[in-house]
Amino acid sequence: MTRGIYFEFQDGPEVFAALKSEDAPVSSKLIWDALAAPVTMLATHAMFAGPEIMMDLPESARTFDPREVPAENQQVIPSAGDVIWYYQAPNQMAGLTNEVWEIGLFYGNGGRIFGPLGWTPCNIVASVREGLEEFAAACAQIRLSGAKYVTLRRAE
């Protein structure tokens, strides 16, 4: 089996995303290492990016220096199923003093990595290759019902 990550809603479906070990070797390995133990995070829906759920990697999984992650396999128009890594330093955006260690999953086409600071290239670290439909429906519900918990765990 290809190395990857399972995304699983607390009350519903899960999906497998294969790591992009050849296209994003450093960032995909860092995310893999960070998930040595499963993590559960609150997933919110993107406001600017379209069909994306966003999760902030918890402190327990912040096992690397995010400023040393190279730009790899970057995109601003991701495909359905793409998983991104994004870091925002404290005070990078006016009024936001906290760090953001984002793992995002684009569950549909038409997404764009665009926010209050404009176009933001992000590393594509993994991709869902099949079974996205049911998971995408649960992701879309976040827009209507609010944030939901998602657990990320390694798959080998």
Digit-coded pLDDT (tens) for 123-135: 999 999 889 999 9
Instruction: Determine the average pLDDT of the residues in 144-156.
Output: 94
Place of tokens 């559960």: 40
Of the candidates 147, 79, 134, 84, the residue with the CA atom closest to the CA atom of residue 108? 79
pLDDT at 1: 60
- Going by their DSSP bridges, the two strands 148-155 and 4-9 should be labelled as antiparallel
pTM for the structure as a whole: 0.95
Per DSSP, the three-state class of 59 is helix
Residue 94, both tokens: 């006016």
Instruction: Tell me phi and psi for residue 132, to 5 degrees.
Output: -75, -25
How far does Cα 145 stand from its chain's mean position?
20
State residue 79's pLDDT score.
Answer: 96
Give yes or no for residue 147 having a pLDDT over 90. yes
Digit-coded pLDDT (tens) for 68-125 = 999 999 999 999 999 999 999 998 888 888 899 999 999 999 999 988 888 999 999 9
Q: Are strands 82-88 and 122-128 parallel, antiparallel or unpaired?
A: antiparallel
> Looking at the predicted structure, is the pLDDT value of residue 143 above 70?
yes
Residue 2: predicted pLDDT: 86
Give the CATH number of domain 4-155.
Answer: 2.40.100.20
Banded model confidence at residue 145, pLDDT cuts 50, 70, 90: very high
